[in-house]
Amino acid sequence: EDSKKIVLTEDSSLPEAKKSKINRLESLRTQRVRVMGWVHRLRQQKDITFITLRDGTGYLQAVLSGVVNQTYQALTLTLESTVELVGLLQEVPEGKTAPGGHELVVDYWKLLGAAPGQEDAFTNRLNEKSDPSILADLRHLVLRGETSSNILRLRAALLAAFRQAYAKLNCTEVTTPCIVQTMVEGGATLFKFDYYGQPAFLTQSSQLYLETCLPSLGDVFCFQESFRAENSHTRRHLAEYTHMEGEIGFINFDQLMDHIEALVRAISETSTSYLKHAIQICDAVDILLKDPASAALVKQLNPTFEAPARPFLRISYVDAIAWLNEHGIKHPAEDEAGNPILDESGQAKMVEHAVGDDIAEAAERQMTDIIGKPVFLHSFPAELKAFYMKKIPGQEGSKLTFTESCDLLMPNVGEIVGGSMRIDDFDELIAAYRREGMDPTSYYWYTDQRKYGTCPHGGYGLGVERFLAWLANRYTVRECVLYPRWPGRATP
């Protein structure tokens, strides 16, 4: 009852408190500070309350005792309430630990926004053992957790590291449109919608736009959302993902070899620009790990992480097929229509891989898990790949033709990068449209690149969520994005 009568006032005779974010407190030790945030943890004892305060930049231990601990609000304080805490910031005594190495001895505080207790308490809403679909509905609350927010913090640092790596490579960032009227990766995964009475799509890839930037800006890159209407409920598929794409002009075999040899010891195989840029991926990891805060995040999320050794292993598609067969990795047989063939017991009939087969996700995953380090699969058959990919020269007349294409596979995730050299010949491009049944008229702007001064060039796309899943050792890409979208889910 008495507690209801206690009203706190800030003592104006004390030194003025400096307002600060938690991650900037170190230089303010021994001073009075004012910090705002959420009650992340709460331990209430008879005469003392311990709060772990969270403000998004870090965590701070605060101690309430004496009169500040005797108010009605102190006695009824709940997790996830917002508070303003004012007091002296003290180094924690030797032998004790607290986030940042200091604690706040509160001499005045204010409740800014109470969170409910009892049935509607935060911990009741968010039970970690809940059904995954309930947790997905509550993603906005899950994000307040330490692991989820650390992943997003690492994601921000990763994007910054990539941008730094691109600056070193003299690549310019562009922002490409999401609303498009052309496809890049095949019509099957396009989200279509009505655009002022015309058909339009959500972009699958910014590649074609990046190619148009080469004559105007030189080498370019972008971070843009890509959309895939795939009915894939896998650990690594999202309906919307962040796509980091790069496009590099005037790459040829010799220059590429020169460049790569300067960076790594000896690479002798393929002649394409994506190899140069695979190295840039390592650069981003190095940049990231040089930053103590980012390195700490990686350590926390993925304690055994080691930056991958260079050069990456390279296996051609044909050799990969042989490797799969040597390792007894089979795939489900399909009839002409693509339906699974069943054996006598009604199980999917498993068969060996043959040259020409797609290497499906399951086989690819087994392969990367056995190899246990990053691996480039390259030189895929043209039939399995996109219309714009350049063929390896000198295959005229052969039944199966191969492309200057590559996928970078990472253990635990699988494909994180897809790249290729692009068709740079006008007639070849027109033939490719025809082969794929595409209407060249909507691609007039892309075709113009081959008409007004073509150049040899190549590029790639990297799935940011997949990269992060690898870096932070997450089970699924769904944990690596703010609000994941997958078939049936666009909430919150």
Instruction: Specify the residue, 32 or 237, whose C-beta has the smaller distance to ligand 4AD.
Output: 237
- Min separation Cβ 124 and ligand 4AD, Å: 33
- Min separation Cβ 459 and ligand 4AD, Å: 5
37 binds ligand 4AD, rule: CB under 6 A = no
Choose, by CB under 6 A, the member of 80, 103, 107, 245 that binds ligand 4AD. Answer: 245
| DSSP structure string for 427-475 | HHHHHHHHHTT--GGGGHHHHHHHHSS---EEEEEEEHHHHHHHHTT-S
Instruction: Specify the residue, 98 or 410, whose C-beta has the smaller distance to ligand 4AD.
Output: 410
What are the angstrom distances between the C-alpha of 291 and each of 260, 297, 361? 25, 10, 34
Ranges within 369-428 binding ligand 4AD (CB under 6 A): 415-419
Q: How far apart (Å, rounded) are the C-alpha atoms in residues 219 and 458?
A: 10
Contact 409, 375 (CB under 8 A): yes
Binding string to ligand 4AD for residues 216 to 235, with x set by CB under 6 A, is what?
A: ------------x-x-----
- Min separation Cβ 223 and ligand 4AD, Å: 12
Contact 98, 62 (CB under 8 A): no
Instruction: Specify the residue, 32 or 155, whose C-beta has the smaller distance to ligand 4AD.
Output: 155
Single out the residue of 456, 21, 395 nearest to residue 255, CA to CA: 456
Among 257-265, 291-299, 440-448, 458-466, the segment contacting ligand 4AD (CB under 6 A): 458-466
| DSSP structure string for 274-323 | HHHHHHHHHHHHHHHHHSHHHHHHHHHH-TT--PPPSSPEEEEHHHHHHH
207 binds ligand 4AD, rule: CB under 6 A = yes
Instruction: Specify the residue, 17 or 210, whose C-beta has the smaller distance to ligand 4AD.
Output: 210
Contact 386, 184 (CB under 8 A): yes
Cβ burial of 93 (10 Å; 0-12, 13-18, 19+) is: exposed
469 binds ligand 4AD, rule: CB under 6 A = no
Ranges within 134-193 binding ligand 4AD (CB under 6 A): 184-185
Single out the residue of 11, 38, 27 nearest to residue 102, CA to CA: 27
Choose, by CB under 6 A, the member of 238, 278, 363, 472 that binds ligand 4AD. Answer: 238
Ranges within 72-111 binding ligand 4AD (CB under 6 A): none
Instruction: Specify the residue, 415 or 424, whose C-beta has the smaller distance to ligand 4AD.
Output: 415
Strands 375-378 and 179-180: unpaired
280 binds ligand 4AD, rule: CB under 6 A = no
Contact 235, 195 (CB under 8 A): no
What are the angstrom distances between the C-alpha of 110 and each of 66, 70, 80, 85, 407? 15, 13, 14, 7, 55
461 binds ligand 4AD, rule: CB under 6 A = yes
Choose, by CB under 6 A, the member of 477, 478, 480, 484 that binds ligand 4AD. Answer: 477
Instruction: Specify the residue, 191 or 426, whose C-beta has the smaller distance to ligand 4AD.
Output: 191
> In sequence order, what are the beta bridge partners of 241?
226
Ranges within 281-300 binding ligand 4AD (CB under 6 A): none
Q: Which residues make up the interface to ligand 4AD (CB under 6 A)?
A: 184-185, 205, 207, 228, 230, 237-238, 241, 243, 245, 415-419, 459-463, 465-466, 477
